[in-house]
Chains A and B, each alone.
Chain A
């Protein structure tokens, strides 16, 4: 009988302990959640957009430095394209090109907006790595551009010769500036500046877009 009494006391003690342990229980976890939408925008971001052309040698008075600001909150890679066009009598044509002889340098063609050239004048500048002579590209002037470079962990860039455009892969989210440069003080591409180029405003349009 004593054994049973001891057993009973132990049992009651055990039950009491078990009950006191449950005093730290918690409710099921409730998850409050809010799903954020995607931000994908590109805006112009200042820079020098105009310069004068030295009538003696065609050099720019200052660098042209168009800037863009790419903003995205996406944590996955984003693809963009950087293209350029200039106006001709037949409409807009691609203004970026990569002459074979230049090895590393890429160029942009500007056309006279006051006296539009024919499109073959722009083609001539591209096909003949400059121009065979200054007579075949009136009102078109081509300038070297500073190459875009990869920025580790931010963006990768690649020039696509087939389409004459820059393909850009954005590697991170946030507000990321992209700046181009057409340097000052350099002579235009061979035979693309001459007295055949009439006075006026020479222009190209650069476009950056998500794809």
Chain B
């Protein structure tokens, strides 16, 4: 009975503190739960020149992922909400295969007057027309991963795109950078169909242990 109580206390202690000890159960739990932390930094806000659509400065996010083991299938996602408040993926890329860098277009949506799903989709086409993508603007971006990690652009069964990331033990930087120039055909001051409001995209890492 005393032995049982001792084991029970040890297990609870292990779960709460995640500290290794000499108990066998402890080792088992440590193997199941890798230690992962993510630190997020970057430049998240800027202005848009209404005449050109250019961003006032580059936007960027750096996810510093620290892990004590290799992890596959971390998903980098970017979403915008359409006028039905449905989340739509904001990434569009024609790159395939596994790499340590990628180019993409990222769609920004008017947060006050959200665009239609078709407007968002038009921004992702190879040939966009500003008449067909009101309240949505796309900007070119780059994605890089270090520490010998890899990324792969993927589209799921719901036609939602994301980047699948594989990282190695240690510190890995997953870095997004958004360039100031809008994708041709997604901003036109002559048609003026992108309002004088704030355009947003929501970015996060998903499927993290």
Measured between beta carbons, the chain B residues less than 8 angstroms from A38 are: 50, 196
B205 touches A19 (CB 8 A): no
A156 at the interface (CB under 8 A from B): no
Cross-chain contact of B25 among A12, A27, A173 (Cβ < 8 A) = A12
Tell me the complex Cα distance, A190–B176, Å: 73
B-side interface residues, number (CB < 8 Å): 53
Q: How far is the CB of A44 from chain B (nearest CB, A)?
A: 15
B203 touches A29 (CB 8 A): yes
Main secondary structure of the interface of A (DSSP, over half): mixed
A101 at the interface (CB under 8 A from B): no
Cross-chain contact of A36 among B1, B32, B191, B195 (Cβ < 8 A) = B195
Question: For window 83-108 of chain A, which residues contact chain B by CB distance below 8 Å?
Answer: none
A175 at the interface (CB under 8 A from B): yes
B44 touches A173 (CB 8 A): no
Main secondary structure of the interface of B (DSSP, over half): mixed
B207 touches A35 (CB 8 A): no
Measured between beta carbons, the chain B residues less than 8 angstroms from A20 are: 32
Tell me the complex Cα distance, A111–B55, Å: 49
Question: For window 6-33 of chain B, which residues contact chain A by CB distance below 8 Å?
Answer: 7-8, 11, 15, 25, 29, 32-33
Q: How far is the CB of A26 from chain B (nearest CB, A)?
A: 4
Tell me the complex Cα distance, A173–B33, Å: 53
A15 at the interface (CB under 8 A from B): yes
B209 touches A34 (CB 8 A): no
Tell me the complex Cα distance, A141–B48, Å: 49
Tell me the complex Cα distance, A7–B106, Å: 51
A75 touches B112 (CB 8 A): yes
A30 touches B11 (CB 8 A): no
B192 touches A19 (CB 8 A): no
A15 touches B193 (CB 8 A): no
B194 touches A36 (CB 8 A): yes
Q: How far is the CB of B199 from chain A (nearest CB, A)?
A: 5
Q: How far is the CB of A186 from chain B (nearest CB, A)?
A: 36
A177 at the interface (CB under 8 A from B): no
A22 touches B63 (CB 8 A): no
1/0 contact trace for A144-178 toward B, CB 8 Å?
00000000000000000000000000000111000
B196 touches A39 (CB 8 A): yes
Q: A73-B193, A175-B190 are in contact. Are A36 and B4 (CB under 8 A)?
A: no
Q: How far is the CB of B136 from chain A (nearest CB, A)?
A: 12
Measured between beta carbons, the chain A residues less than 8 angstroms from B55 are: 34
Measured between beta carbons, the chain A residues less than 8 angstroms from B191 are: 174-175
B206 at the interface (CB under 8 A from A): yes
Q: A23-B207, A27-B38, A27-B63 are in contact. Are A34 and B108 (CB under 8 A)?
A: yes
